Structure 1
Amino acid sequence: MNEMSPLKSTSPRAVAANNFAYMPGFGNDFETESLPGALPHGMNSPQRPAYGLYAEQLSGSPFTAPRGTNERSWLYRIRPSVKHHQRFQSFKLPAWKSAPNAADQELSLAQMRWNPLPMPIGETNFIEGIRTMTTAGDVFGQAGMAAHAYVANADMVDDHFFNADGELLVVPQVGGLRFMTEMGVMEVQPGEICVLPRGLVFKVELMDGSSRGYVCENYGAKFTMPDRGPIGANCLANPRDFKTPVAWFEEKETPCRIIVKWCGSFHVTEIGHSPLDVVAWHGNYAPYKYDLSTFSPVGAILFDHPDPSIFTVLTAPSGEEGTANIDFVIFPPRWLVAENTFRPPWYHRNIMSEFMGLIHGQYDAKEEGFVPGGMSLHNMMLAHGPDATGFEKASRADLKPVKLENTMAFMFETRFPQLLTRYAASLDTLQDNYIDCWTDLKKRFNGTPEGDWS
């Protein structure tokens, strides 16, 4: 998307650019200004910028991180972020949980699946509508993640939010979201994702009256693109398709609130103006969006079913090479051409814990019961795979080339066990009969090489 829709704003003065800058690769610097000359250049002092702006640095890495992973952006804003009217007060978002979640967790072990969350009845904005399904790792140790679902039917008008605990990967499933951030505006529709860095201030407007989707809260190292290895220079997600917003600012002199998530708890303070007042910025620490339809999948072109890692869009590395804190994996439309093989995912147990969602269409390994807006959880070393119907169909299929269309599923996969929240365990949408989808798998061993396929 090279242009975005005209900005909807109720502020006395709002300025926006009308396009997105390309993101040629994570780690590269960008610069953008919404007023000419707002960015200092050369010998111009960043402490005395034009328009009477304040210079403020937002750092997303330790100051001494290696150059390739050192992330920071300079923001030139109307007022510095330190200005607020009162000390932070406690704030409650009871449905949003963080790891370790010892006081509110459900330790039951099972393969689990849910139908979509119902839309809220009362007025609910984006952060009020976040419902934690699982937590993993330790927010204090900056490792692990939380998997959330969200439902919303109201804009965040004068409320703003930032997350000191981690970055947020947002996956809309119904209804578009307009993220008004310090560094620009992003409109994100179902079929797209966005990532909001740790510490970035934003608010959310609804583009279609209501919205539902998923959020991965990453406590650990930030998301980046996976190495392609033997795949080479092309395919998977390409850097040019990640887009970061251009500078935009809101000059609004009315009471606003800033809500902060910090070490698993929430706090709020009041200010007398909009905090979205960054007139210009430059750096390499910024929000970004990505259209999932631009993912270029690779796969087996002769036999065998490949590992799901070939569908990784983004990965958050851990301290152990090849073992991710989080992988964000998608299962997009694609051709299936493998011969003399079983094309769907095989039955498996593995060390990663898998939280899945379906954005639209049908997932090929679960043709019944896994519906758009639904979720499933298969924890580490817990067996899972195609249901009985899917196995029968794939085993008897005439293996001609087939294109999977109208499908987009995803997975938040982590090295840590995902602990179920009591909210998720008690949801009315939990499918108590999910395990029955494997009941009709038959014994086919009869001592002969052909087996019993009657």
Structure 2
Amino acid sequence: MTDIKNDYTYQSGFDNHFSSEALPDALPKGQNTPQVCPYGLYAEQLSGTAFTVDRKHNQRTWLYRIRPSVCHTPFQPFQKKSKLVGNYTDEANVSVTPNQLRWSPFDLPTEPTNFVEGLHSIAGAGDVGVKHGMGVLFYAANKDMVDTAFYNADGDFLIGRDLIHRYPLPQQGRLDITTEFGKIMVHPNEICVIQRGIRFSVALPDGPSRGYICEVFNGTWSLPDLGPIGANGLANPRDFQTPIAAFVNEEKSFRIINKYGGRLFSAQQNHTVFDVVAWHGNYAPFKYNLALFNTVNSVSFDHIDPSIFTVLTCKSEKPGVAIADFVIFPPRWSVQEHTFRPPYFHRNCMSEFMGLIHGSYEAKQGGFLPGGASLHSMMTPHGPDAPTFEKASKDELKPMYIAKGTQAFMFESSMQLQPTHWAIEESGKVQHDYFQAWQGLKSNFDPNWKLSQN
């Protein structure tokens, strides 16, 4: 366990079978459902996979709580208008375009808005109803969730936040997340994964927050296979942190918001949902500090494929092809010789959604800012802008520490991501002149080049 200043206490490891109890001997001994649980608690299982999935992939956790989750009123449609999409195959929800897209930073809310109220779908593929696909969301919030919990019945959330720049200093904001499993404090440059069905509430101890979410409808987030890299490198399992049990015993009016079928529903109950006294299992939320990522790269020549920067992956049924990869481009040394070092120009059979947490991305000289985003669709060409190409073509190729003070990321998917109508037409943040980034690339062709080398 690790105790960090201004943080909570966690269990370390990835995909472990954890156990945690806030009161001594709250976990039953030798069985999951004794006739009477310790302390008069209720036993409740939360299953993240089908019961019959093979043991290696089976995910479930037993919760021992003061009241079972079933004690609530019927769900009713959430009254506030939502900008969420559940079916990305319906053109009523999305705008189909092959163009390169880039967005300026999305706005913070001007009216009081909590995490759930500030969710917006940006792009996605598939349909939550058939449990196949993924979505990219944006959130912007300026108030705490009070006596309210949220859970997503559609998929798993991977949540990150960008650094909001305000004079005189960037906002060093945190997300204080209370879950049924315990508390998680998400600091800048950290991510948090909260799986399908887990109830949580978000508070903002440092003020307004804005960030990105990748939602996967089928499968779960896992560590990528290392293959020839060997046993070490990329994200180390021990650096992932899972909360320990912490419960509240309160009887008060409490609201539950459920994301189901891409829509929001609300129910009431007369007690908090955060009353889990003990739990054990391998289906639990976790967080990870991106600064702990162990970068690998070329030490000879050429720019290696971005898959070497994969932190987490959600695998599809086809080996080597992902529903989504979460990839980061952290500070690192660049030492390749005889090489154009920035990302090369390319067309890809994957969709690439990029965002910037903080700093300046090395492949763009301007326009790509923290809180903004870009989408390069399947087989649509993209790459460094004209100024970056010119500079990199003339740089002295000495060892160079790049991306200092920067954290860019990419959600890469084998699926054809479609931007939502909100992202294209309503947000007001589309950079319609993005294509100009490449218009300055001139012809350098010299038919006499070989003669000039003699």
Seen in structure 2, the aligned counterparts of structure 1 residues 185 and 4 have a Cα distance that, compared at 3 Å, is: farther
SS state of the match for residue 389, structure 1? helix
Match of 1:230 in 2: 228
Instruction: Report what 2:431 is aligned to.
Output: 431
Q: Deviation of residue 5 (structure 1)? A: 5.8
Aligned partner of residue 231 in structure 2, secondary structure: coil
SS at match of 1:435: helix
User: What CA distance in whole angstroms lies between the structure 2 residues aligned with 1:385 and 1:46?
Assistant: 60
Whether the 8 Å CA contact 2:87–2:93 is kept in 1: the answer is: no
**1:125 and 2:114 are equivalent in the alignment:** yes
What stretches of structure 1 move > 4 A for 4+ residues in a row? 4-7
Counting only pairs closer than 5 Å after superposition, residues 36-51 of structure 1 correspond to structure 2 as 36-42=24-30, 46-51=34-39
**Counterpart-to-counterpart distance in 2, 1:117 and 1:420:** 15
Question: By how many angstroms is 1:46 displaced?
Answer: 3.5
**Secondary structure at the residue paired with 1:285?**
coil
Q: Give the equivalent residue in structure 2 for 1:87.
A: 74
SS in 1 for 2:98: coil
- The aligned length equals 439
Q: Report the counterpart of residue 408 of structure 1 in structure 2.
A: 407
C-alpha distance in structure 2 between counterparts of 1:417 and 1:29, whole Å: 35
User: C-alpha distance in 1, partners of 2:94/2:206?
Assistant: 34
Matched, 1:356 2:354: yes
Between the aligned partners of 1:190 and 1:249, the Cα distance in structure 2 is 26
**What does 1:2-401 correspond to in 2, within 5 Å?**
2-4=2-4, 18-23=8-13, 25-26=14-15, 28-42=16-30, 46-84=34-72, 86-91=73-78, 92-100=80-88, 101-174=90-163, 175-401=173-399
CA contact (8 A) 1:330 1:409 kept: yes
The answer (yes or no) to whether the contact 1:93–1:266 under 8 Å persists in 2 is no
* C-alpha distance after superposition, 1:207-259 (max 9, x if no partner): 21110110111112100000001000001000000110000111111101111
CA distance in 2, matches of 1:89, 1:451: 77
Deviation at 1:449, TM superposition (A): 2.5
Asked whether the 8 Å contact 2:177–2:185 carries over to 1, the reply is yes
Q: Distance in 2 between matches of 1:66 and 1:185?
A: 30
Structure 1 residue 108, shift from structure 2 partner: 2.7
Give me the whole-angstrom Cα distance separating, in 2, the residues matched to 1:43 and 1:437. 62
Structure 1 stretch displaced more, 236-245 or 361-370:
361-370
Secondary structure at the aligned position of 1:103 is classed as coil
Q: Secondary structure at the match of 2:129?
A: coil
Secondary structure of residue in 1 paired with 2:338: coil
Contact kept, 8 Å, 2:114 with 2:141, in 1: the verdict is: yes
Cα distance, 1:356–1:50 mapped onto 2, change above 3 Å = same
Q: Distance in 2 between matches of 1:153 and 1:118?
A: 11
Supply the distance in 2 between the matched residues of 1:323 and 1:57 (Cα, whole angstroms): 31
How many Å separate the matches in 2 of 1:222 and 1:45? 27
Amino acid at match of 2:46: L
Task: Pick closer, same or farther for the CA change 1:400–1:446 going to 2, 3 Å.
Answer: same
Distance 2:195 2:276 in 1: 16
* Structure 2 CA distance for partners of 1:87 and 1:151, relative to 1, 3 Å: same
Partner of 1:14: none
Distance 1:448 1:137 in 2: 51
Q: Does the residue aligned with 2:449 lie in a helix, a strand or coil?
A: coil
Q: CA deviation at 1:93?
A: 4.5
Aligned equivalents of 1:162, 1:44: Cα separation in 2: 24
Unaligned runs of 5+ in 1: 8-17
CA distance in structure 2 between the partners assigned to 1:451 and 1:67 by the alignment? 65
Structure 2 CA distance for aligned equivalents of residues 432 and 336 of structure 1: 33
Tell me how far apart the structure 2 counterparts of residues 126 and 45 of structure 1 sit (CA, whole Å). 35
2:238 match: secondary structure: helix
Contact 1:357 1:373 in 2 (8 A): yes
Q: Is the 8 A contact 2:316 2:323 kept in 1?
A: yes
Q: Distance in 2 between the 1:45 and 1:135 partners?
A: 40
Assess if the C-alpha contact under 8 Å between 1:76 and 1:280 holds in 2.
yes
With normalisation by structure 1, the TM-score equals 0.94
How many angstroms does 1:45 deviate by? 5.1
**Residue type at the aligned position of 2:409:** F
Counterpart for residue 10 of structure 1: none
Q: Deviation of residue 64 (structure 1)?
A: 1.1
SS in 2 for 1:230: helix
Residue identity in the other structure for 1:169: L
Query: Cα distance, 1:2 vs. partner?
Result: 2.5
RMSD across aligned C-alpha pairs, in angstroms? Answer: 1.6
Pair 1:4–1:46, CA change in 2 (3 A)? farther
Distance (whole Å) between structure 2 residues aligned to residue 451 and residue 48 of structure 1: 89
Unaligned runs of at least 5 residues, structure 2: 164-172
Letter in 2 for 1:370: F
| Percentage of matched positions with identical amino acids | 51
* Structure-2 change in CA distance of 1:60 and 1:42 (3 Å): same
SS in 1 for 2:162: strand
Go from structure 1 to structure 2 and tell me whether the alpha carbon gap of 1:122 and 1:407 turns closer, same or farther (over 3 Å shift).
same
Q: State TM-score, norm by structure 2.
A: 0.94
CA distance 1:132–1:344, change in 2 (3 Å): same
Moved more, 274-283 or 133-142: 133-142
1:204 partner SS = strand
**CA offsets per residue over residues 248-294 of structure 1, 9 Å max, x none?**
11111110111111122221110001011100000000000000000
Please say if residues 47 and 55 of structure 1, whose CA atoms lie closer than 8 Å, have aligned partners that are also in contact.
no
